[in-house]
Amino acid sequence: MPSPFPGMDPYLEAPPFWSDLHFALIMALKADLKKRLPAGYSVWADQYIWLHEPDAETRRGKPEIVTAPATSILPAVRREGNKYLKIKETRSERIVTVLELLSPANKQPGDDREAFLAKRNEYLATGTNLVEIDLLRSGQRMPLGEPAPPPADYYIVVCRAAEFPKTAIWPFTLRDRLPPVAVPLKPEDGWIEASLQDCFNWAYDQGPYAGEVDYNKPAAPPLSAADAEWARQLLQQAAH
């Protein structure tokens, strides 16, 4: 059963649905890219590992159960971030393109956002193509440069290393179908296009959403008054 919405389903932006959708979309995009990549490339799913200094509360720690001759605080705490995709040259460690599907932690102030932005800057500084897909209406957007793109619910940002700092941006709304994702390769190989809408349709069909989402309740985060009325009519039609 497909989603009742033509593109992104706003009911899947909130817990507990987003983490499941994120994983399914990453896997669907990986399969879609694999079919389209020319010879000489491979696509991999990977996961960020963030290292954070312990905060003051962690440093105080719990009361000791066993007395030791000495104690210390390790310099960093290991935390796992979201999965992402990377396109590499076959049988090489050279990463050509990174594809990110943003999550709430990337868009909220804090260590995770700062670490994500640092990694983003590293890609841009080292000549790696970067694709960012933002299917979340809430939170603080990634820096989108100047001039600012038109206001929209969702964005796809594509930065081709050969054209940096020029960046291509696709703004789209809740009422639109999901646009194809332009994925740059090495300059001599041009681009390929991933079908984000087909990937979303597959992810929705694989997930529990049709039976678990209560479309009788308002979406979270809330829609604008105009979009809420549009969604109400859309869902009413889908129910008949």
Q: Are strands 154-159 and 181-184 parallel, antiparallel or unpaired?
A: unpaired
In-domain check, residue 228: yes
Least confident of 50-64, 125-139, 177-191: 50-64
Total domains, the chain:
1
CB 132 within 8 A of CB 142: yes
| Residues contacting 173, CB < 8 A, separation 6+ | 152, 153, 154
Distance CA 158, CA 170 (A): 8
When computed from its CA atoms, the radius of gyration of the chain, rounded to whole angstroms, is 21
Range of the domain at 95: 10-49+76-238
Alpha-carbon distances, residue 224 vs 36, 50, 161, 230, 238 (angstroms):
37, 35, 37, 10, 20
What angle do the packed helices 17-36 and 196-206 form, to 10 degrees? 130
In-domain check, residue 68: no
Q: What is the pTM of this model?
A: 0.86
Would you say residue 96 has pLDDT above 60? Answer: yes
Q: Which amino acid is at 14?
A: A
DSSP tag of 47: E
With tokens 């990977």, the residue in question is: 46
Q: Give ∠ CA 147-150-154 in degrees, rounded to 5.
A: 120
In-domain check, residue 71: no
In-domain check, residue 59: no
In-domain check, residue 5: no
pLDDT digits (tens, 9 = 90+) for 167-192: 999 999 999 999 999 999 999 999 99
Which residues are paired to 97 by β-bridges?
87, 129
pLDDT digits (tens, 9 = 90+) for 194-212: 999 999 999 999 999 999 9
Give counts: helices (H), strands (E), the chain. Answer: 6, 8
The more confident residue out of 57 and 81 is 81
**The predicted structure's pLDDT at residue 59:** 46
Q: What is the dihedral of CA 50, 206, 97, 9, to 10 degrees?
A: -90
Distance CA 73, CA 60 (A): 9
